[in-house]
């Protein structure tokens, strides 16, 4: 075989191998995004986030490039014990207007907000179940829900 035929054969084989692996990857079953649970979320973090919803919304709006891995869900019930239910109810009642504002923001069409909404949807959590968010210094967003 001359050099042109050898080169063409090698190139063709490489394309087949490459396209075969690409096609195999394309048919892999999609996986659900991994939602990290926050091991360090505390009742105090929740109350602080509830009492600072406007600030947290401003910090959320300043984020760029939020990914699914940056969004962490915390069920409020996991943070409750004993008489903390009364403290939570008081904080919820005191901040009910801000919580509604947070719901409006989470229903907006911003790219980063869509990431949060996607994580909520994949976890079967409605936006109306969100009571607070905490935007951490590293860019992660903790979403507290009921």
Looking at residue 41, its pLDDT comes to 85
pLDDT at 5: 52
What are the extents of the domains in the chain?
1-30, 36-145
The pLDDT, as a whole number, for residue 109 is 86
The per-residue pLDDT for 34 is 38
**Quick one: pLDDT at residue 83?**
61
Residues forming beta bridges with residue 37, ordered by sequence position: 73
Mean pLDDT in consecutive groups of 10 residues from the start of the chain, 146 residues: 51 44 39 44 92 96 93 92 84 96 94 94 97 93 96
């Amino acid at each position: 075989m001359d050099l042109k035929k050898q080169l063409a054969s090698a190139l063709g084989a490489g394309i087949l191998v490459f396209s075969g692996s690409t096609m195999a990857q394309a048919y892999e079953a999609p996986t659900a995004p991994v939602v990290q649970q926050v091991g360090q979320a505390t009742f105090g973090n929740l109350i602080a986030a509830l009492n600072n919803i406007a600030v947290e919304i401003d910090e959320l709006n300043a984020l760029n490039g939020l990914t699914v891995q940056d969004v962490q869900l915390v069920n409020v019930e996991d943070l409750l014990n004993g008489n903390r239910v009364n403290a939570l109810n008081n904080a919820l009642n005191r901040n009910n207007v801000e919580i509604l504002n947070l719901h409006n923001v989470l229903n907006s069409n911003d790219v980063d907000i869509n990431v949060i909404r996607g994580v909520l949807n994949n976890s079967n959590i409605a936006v109306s179940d969100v009571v607070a968010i905490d935007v951490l210094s590293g860019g992660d967003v903790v979403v507290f829900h009921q």
